[in-house]
Amino acid sequence: MAMKAGAMLGNMREAWWMPVAEIPGDEASTGRQLVSTQRGLPHTIMVNSKGRRFTNEAANYNAFGGLFHEIDVANFRYANLPCWMIFDSTYVRKYGFGGRRYSTPGDVADWVQRAPDLPGLAKLLGIPTRSLANTVTRWNANVAA
């Protein structure tokens, strides 16, 4: 409609992208929470449904948001949706999550999925166990180096 009226449509695919977490059963708000600074803090890694890290977690919000539009042409879907921000107990003790501080790691909000180990988390999220384990092992080695 705008083109028919003579509008210039350059750069129409650009926007200010902001990653969000879906909060199941959140009737009091939009059911979404911005995931901005928390994703770039130490002790966290973001992985896609293949269990692979796909970004620098501390990337600016616009570059980060653009990664969600990457297409997996073999499967006709977005390559990095859904994704998960995975963090450990040290992260929770130091930073909390979702704007709240917690005294113990098990204290995080009920909607945050958790498991006692990586294979359990992979199974819970439906992520390939070996791929997630390889990703986290490589990530930890790079962090240590």
pLDDT of residue 4: 86
Cα–Cα distance list, 53 to 4, 81, 103, 121 (Å): 43, 12, 28, 15
Answer for the pair 131, 50: CB distance below 8 angstroms, yes or no. yes
Question: Which two tokens mark 128?
Answer: 């390939």
Alpha helical stretches, state H, 4-126: 61-66, 89-95, 118-125
User: pLDDT value at position 80?
Assistant: 94
Backbone dihedral region of 7: left (phi > 0), alpha (psi from -120 to 50 degrees) or beta? beta
How do 32-34 and 20-22 pair as beta strands? antiparallel
Q: Considering only CA atoms, which of 99, 96, 95, 59 is closest in space to residue 80?
A: 59
Q: How far apart are CA 129 and CA 136, in angstroms?
A: 11
pLDDT digits (tens, 9 = 90+) for 16-33: 777 788 887 766 667 777
Residue type, 122: A
Using a cut of 0.85, tell me whether the model's pTM lies above it: no
Query: In this predicted structure, what is the pLDDT of residue 31?
Result: 76
SS3 assignment, position 68: helix
Residue 27: the pLDDT is 62
Question: Looking up tokens 């979702």, which residue turns up?
Answer: 98
Over its length of 145 residues, how does the chain's per-residue pLDDT go in tens digits?
877 898 887 776 667 777 788 887 766 667 777 777 788 899 999 999 999 999 999 888 778 888 888 899 998 999 999 999 999 888 888 888 766 666 665 567 778 888 999 999 999 999 999 999 999 999 999 999 9
